[in-house]
């Protein structure tokens, strides 16, 4: 078991290393001053508290969408609806914030829950289609993203739009619904604690509750789950709804922590990024914040680099792509691993009489 | 005689760390029938897969007709004249015999179109040369297992095989078909073919082979002339101790009916009956065996009883409660356990830990949960108890199931299914493909549970197993009950074969005993 973890860690490191190496090569070929560009890219995020704060700010929504995706992927439900769920969650929180007046502390909690419900309802549709009609959740959740997007735009435009504002935007959010800042000199907000709380809750759910156990068994072998008497249809349903709820909460937290009005008129992309984070973390909820931070760091670093040098920030997209390809390549390093196993077995193969190994 | 092929110092380690072969030497002479013996998991199949180019060894050399060769794919092996008949046939059921035989080496007309007539001629030619009778125009789907095997052998011969590897060829055959196969093999040997015969059945080996190589635990235990070695010696070399694979059991003392099946039928998607109007009962403290060639409705019957499939017609009662339409969970709640036919598909989540696999039927019981949270400590303790009680050889409850040997994986399944206090056990091929030690253990456990009053339905393709373990015995043929014997110990193997092949069928009133009439 430990060897497996070591091996997976090695694979991740190799993937990151190869991807960074390629990025360096690109930087060296396109830049007039590659040394400076590289320095901004790698160390820029650490150069000031504000820059570091930017990394944390970016990691918060990634934790939510990464968790959402990892719950669904653990059940082998390839639902890509975290994007739409995130968006509609922010819409739900806006709708609540502009419709009701509640006391401080209570109000953001209710708004986040409202966002979660909106996200959960959005994902319930592909989930129901899968469990009742056996429709591929991959296709229906992708389509659902656009449905939820336009539904959200419709709601904001028709019920909450501020006609005085220049661009399309909702009315101002009331002060008592907003999440407080927690780090002086940055925009890092209370959402960071909510994100970490969610990491723990998702971990407890997946590894310490009977529903999480059923969910994991469905993911490992659905026929085994069925044979054991686990209600697999209900797992298919609740794994996706829970994913939607987490994504929706993420959208609400992002809105209440970072914005004064609802101003998105395109999908923000955190749902897709969540897939990257979940894949890098091998769906392990405890690793989600690590890779959310890592991805945030890369993004901010590239952004800082592009601002003062001639290297565009799109370099990050290349790094991401290569990392994901290598991490998902199951056979990467398989030869090395095989030699390791052979060597170990040759040294201490027990010569027991009558004991039987598989053949 | 000349040595046609030799393998020297072959070592093979699988990615999950299992050492399948360790410095194995093996050689065959031209024109002999050479057996590779060893129990399940001894490394017989791996050695042959290496010879057929399906696996690459870590160490070792292969010499063929005096030259060193590298066999890195089956097509290379075929080119050298090595052919293999796998345990599971590699045939396209919807195609004809001729089409299957020429697959990959199709004769062409004008270099473009498939020449069906020529294919038929090729098949007729090879079947005449080797005196193996087959109809080239028959569709494989409609053929019996014995015929399919014949196609596989001919397929290899058509490709110019000089060495023929047969991987446990008799495992799927009835006694009659086995006899026919042996006659054919001797005939092939007389025509100069070299045959490698993988098996763990002692009687067959004594009957047909010239020499034998014994493998144990991945190592070669030596080469012997078949006529110079006794069955007992072979068995001791295979297992490392004397094994008596007979089960000590007393007569059954059956009690009340636990499982009652009434006119049960199952129709497949094409509305073809797979199980037809089956009725029988199973009592407390009794083992009812179901014999039959695989694919005669046994699998569907088991799936209907355990709730994995819904019956098309008829009724199932477990302890007088109707269970026909219940879910798997509800049927399990009626104290039913199930050892599935294929342990890797249904029996375990191979990537899960041993602990996770041992609790899949009881993870949601109130004793293992406090409010929303599972009592992980209690679950771990239970897993460790089961690992001890069923002597599962492993590094601990957190080890992944797919790192275990076949026998130990089956013990994981058995430990879970036997430990839930079952009143009814459906055991489908409980010892298929596992080592002698685990087989003995599981068989004795079944008898022990019977003595404690559990009702056991045993489905097995292993004739020895059903005959040894069963108190009563029924035969299924094409979804129907072909025979029922009140006392399994009085059944003759050859007679059983007749019923299994559909050559004989009992009258309905002769089988009244199945219903207790």
Express each pLDDT in B79-116 by its tens digit. 999 999 988 888 999 999 999 999 888 888 888 899 99
Can you identify the CATH homologous superfamily of domain B257-515? P-loop containing nucleotide triphosphate hydrolases (3.40.50.300)
How high is the pLDDT of residue A359?
35
Has residue A128 been placed in a domain?
A: yes
| Token duo for residue B398 | 């957190």
Mean pLDDT, residues B324-352 taken together: 94
Q: For residue B305, list chain A residues with Cβ-Cβ distance below 8 A.
A: none
pLDDT tens for B138-162 read: 999 888 888 899 999 999 999 999 9
Contact B218 A230 (CB under 8 A): no
CATH architecture designation of domain B3-239: 3-Layer(aba) Sandwich (3.40)
Minimal-distance CA residue of chain B relative to A354:
B240
Q: Is the dihedral of CA B116, B118, B119, B123 positive or negative?
A: positive
Most A CBs within 10 A among B9, B11, B12, B13, hence the mutation to make, goes to B13
Q: For residue A226, list chain B residues with Cβ-Cβ distance below 8 A.
A: 308, 328
Total domains, chain A: 1
Look at the block and give the residue holding tokens 């749902």.
Answer: A271
Per the structure, the complete domain to which residue A78 belongs is given by 67-282
Report whether A64 contacts A191 (CB < 8 A): no
Has residue A276 been placed in a domain?
A: yes
Has residue A341 been placed in a domain?
A: no
CA distance A159 to A155: 6
Mean pLDDT, residues A159-179 taken together: 88
A352 pLDDT higher than 60: no
Look at the block and give the residue holding tokens 């790192």.
Answer: B403
Of B138, B137, B132, B177, residue with least CA distance to B155: B132
Of B388, B395, B381, residue with least CA distance to B353: B395
Of B340, B303, B343, B341, residue with least CA distance to B323: B303
Has residue A170 been placed in a domain?
A: yes
Q: For residue A231, list chain B residues with Cβ-Cβ distance below 8 A.
A: 327, 329
Mean pLDDT, residues B351-360 taken together: 94
Q: Report the 10 Å Cβ neighbour count for B114.
A: 12
Q: Is B308 at the interface with chain A, CB within 8 A?
A: yes
Q: Report the 10 Å Cβ neighbour count for A7.
A: 15
Highest mean pLDDT among A226-240, A330-344, B10-24, B161-175: A226-240
Minimal-distance CA residue of chain B relative to A334:
B15
Tell how many helices (H) and how many strands (E) occur in chain A.
14, 0
Of A62, A93, A91, A49, residue with least CA distance to A182: A49
Has residue A28 been placed in a domain?
A: no
Confidence band, pLDDT 50/70/90 cuts, at residue A91? very high
Q: Which of B20, B308, B368 sits opposite A226 (nearest CB)?
A: B308
How high is the pLDDT of residue B130?
87
Residues above pLDDT 70, as percent of chain A: 96
How high is the pLDDT of residue B454?
96
Most A CBs within 10 A among B11, B216, B346, B399, hence the mutation to make, goes to B346
Has residue A342 been placed in a domain?
A: no
CA distance A320 to chain B (A): 28
How high is the pLDDT of residue B245?
61
CA distance A58 to A87: 16
The count of residues in chain B is 517
| Token duo for residue A196 | 């970490």
A353 pLDDT higher than 50: no
Mean pLDDT, residues B503-511 taken together: 86
Strand intervals (E) in B340-402: 369-370, 373-374
Q: Is B363 at the interface with chain A, CB within 8 A?
A: yes
Q: Report the 10 Å Cβ neighbour count for A325.
A: 13
- What's the complex ipTM? 0.85
Residue ranges, CATH 3.40.50.300, chain B:
3-239, 257-515
CA distance A309 to chain B (A): 48
How high is the pLDDT of residue B1?
56
- By a Cβ cutoff of 8 Å, what residues of chain A touch chain B? 1, 4, 204, 208-210, 213-214, 216-217, 220-221, 223-231, 334, 337-338, 341-342, 344-346, 349, 352-359
What value does the mean pLDDT of chain B take?
90
pTM attached to this predicted model: 0.85
B120 pLDDT higher than 60: yes
Report whether A116 contacts A110 (CB < 8 A): no
CB pairs under 8 A between A and B: 136
């Amino acid at each position: 078991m430990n060897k497996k973890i070591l091996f997976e860690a090695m694979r991740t490191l190799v993937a990151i290393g190869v991807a960074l190496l390629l990025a360096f090569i690109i930087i060296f070929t396109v830049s007039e001053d590659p040394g400076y560009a590289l320095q901004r890219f790698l160390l820029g995020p650490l150069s000031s508290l504000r820059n570091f704060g930017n990394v944390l700010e970016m990691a918060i929504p990634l934790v939510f969408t990464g968790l959402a995706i990892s719950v669904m992927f653990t059940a082998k439900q390839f639902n890509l609806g975290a994007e739409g769920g995130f968006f509609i969650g922010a819409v739900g929180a806006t709708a609540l914030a502009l419709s009701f007046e509640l006391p401080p502390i209570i109000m953001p909690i209710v708004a986040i829950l409202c966002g979660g419900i909106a996200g959960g309802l959005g994902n319930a549709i592909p989930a129901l289609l899968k469990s009742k009609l056996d429709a591929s959740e991959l296709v229906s959740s992708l389509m659902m993203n656009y449905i939820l997007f336009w539904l959200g735009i419709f709601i904001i435009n028709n019920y909450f739009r501020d006609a005085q504002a220049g661009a399309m935007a909702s009315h101002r959010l009331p002060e008592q619904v907003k999440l407080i800042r927690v780090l002086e000199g940055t925009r890092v907000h209370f959402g960071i604690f909510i994100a970490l709380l969610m990491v723990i809750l998702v971990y407890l759910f997946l590894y310490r509750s009977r529903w999480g156990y059923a969910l994991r068994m469905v993911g490992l072998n659905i026929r085994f789950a069925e044979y054991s008497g686990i209600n697999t249809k209900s797992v298919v349903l609740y794994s996706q709804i829970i994913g939607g709820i987490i994504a929706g909460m993420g959208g609400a937290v992002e809105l209440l922590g970072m914005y004064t009005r609802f101003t998105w008129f395109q999908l923000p992309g955190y749902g897709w990024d969540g897939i990257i984070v979940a894949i890098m973390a091998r769906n392990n909820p405890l690793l989600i914040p690590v890779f959310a931070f890592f991805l945030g760091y890369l993004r901010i670093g590239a952004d800082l680099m592009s601002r003062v040098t001639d290297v565009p920030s799109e370099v990050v997209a290349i790094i991401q792509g290569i990392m994901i390809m290598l991490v998902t390549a199951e056979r990467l390093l398989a030869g090395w691993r095989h030699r390791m196993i052979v060597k170990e077995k040759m040294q201490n193969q027990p010569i027991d009489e009558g004991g039987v190994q598989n053949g | 005689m000349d040595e046609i092929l030799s393998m020297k110092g072959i070592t093979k380690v699988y990615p999950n760390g299992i050492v399948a072969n360790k410095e194995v030497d093996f050689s065959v002479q031209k024109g002999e029938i050479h057996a590779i013996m060893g129990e399940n998991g001894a490394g017989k199949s791996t050695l042959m897969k290496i010879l057929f180019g399906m696996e690459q060894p870590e160490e070792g050399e292969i010499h063929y007709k005096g030259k060193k060769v590298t066999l890195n794919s089956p097509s290379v092996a075929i080119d050298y004249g090595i052919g293999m008949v796998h345990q599971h046939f590699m045939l396209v059921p919807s195609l004809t015999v001729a089409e299957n035989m020429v697959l990959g080496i199709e004769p062409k007309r004008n270099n473009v179109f498939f020449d069906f007539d020529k294919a038929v001629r090729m098949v007729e030619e090879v079947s005449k040369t080797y005196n193996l009778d087959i109809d080239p125009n028959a569709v494989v789907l409609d053929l019996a297992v014995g015929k399919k095997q014949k196609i596989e052998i001919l397929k290899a011969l058509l490709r110019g095989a000089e060495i023929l590897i047969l991987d446990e060829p008799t495992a799927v055959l009835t006694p009659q078909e086995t006899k026919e196969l042996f006659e054919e093999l001797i005939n092939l040997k007389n025509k100069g073919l070299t045959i490698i015969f993988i098996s763990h059945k002692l009687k067959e080996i004594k009957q047909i082979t010239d020499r034998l190589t014994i493998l144990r635990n991945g190592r070669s235990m030596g080469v012997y002339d078949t006529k110079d070695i006794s069955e007992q010696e072979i068995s001791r070399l295979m297992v490392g101790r004397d094994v008596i694979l007979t089960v000590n059991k007393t007569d059954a003392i059956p009690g009340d009916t636990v499982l009652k099946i009434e006119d049960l039928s199952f129709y497949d998607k094409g509305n073809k009956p797979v199980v037809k109007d089956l009725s029988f009962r199973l009592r407390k403290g009794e083992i009812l065996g179901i014999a039959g060639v695989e694919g005669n409705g046994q699998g569907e019957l088991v799936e209907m009883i355990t709730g994995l499939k819904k019956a098309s017609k008829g009724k199932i009662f477990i302890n007088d409660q109707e269970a026909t339409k219940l879910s798997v969970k509800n049927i399990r709640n009626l104290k039913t356990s199930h050892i599935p036919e294929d342990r890797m598909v249904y029996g375990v989540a191979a990537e899960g830990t041993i602990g996770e696999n041992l609790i899949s039927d009881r993870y949601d019981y109130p004793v293992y949960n406090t409010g929303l949270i599972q009592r992980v400590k209690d679950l771990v303790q239970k897993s460790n108890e089961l690992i001890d009680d069923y002597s599962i050889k492993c590094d601990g409850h957190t080890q992944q199931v797919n790192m275990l040997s076949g026998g130990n994986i089956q013990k994981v399944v058995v430990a879970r299914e036997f430990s839930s206090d079952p009143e009814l056990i459906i055991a489908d091929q409980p010892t298929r493909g596992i080592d002698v030690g685990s087989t003995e253990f599981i068989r004795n456990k079944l008898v022990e549970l019977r003595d404690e009053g559990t009702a056991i339905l045993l489905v097995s393709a292993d004739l020895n197993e059903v005959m040894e373990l069963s108190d009563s015995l029924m035969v299924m043929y094409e979804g129907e009950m072909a025979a029922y014997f009140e006392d399994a110990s009085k059944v003759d193997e050859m007679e059983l074969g007749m019923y299994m092949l559909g050559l004989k069928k009992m009258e309905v009133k002769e089988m009244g005993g199945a219903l207790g009439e």
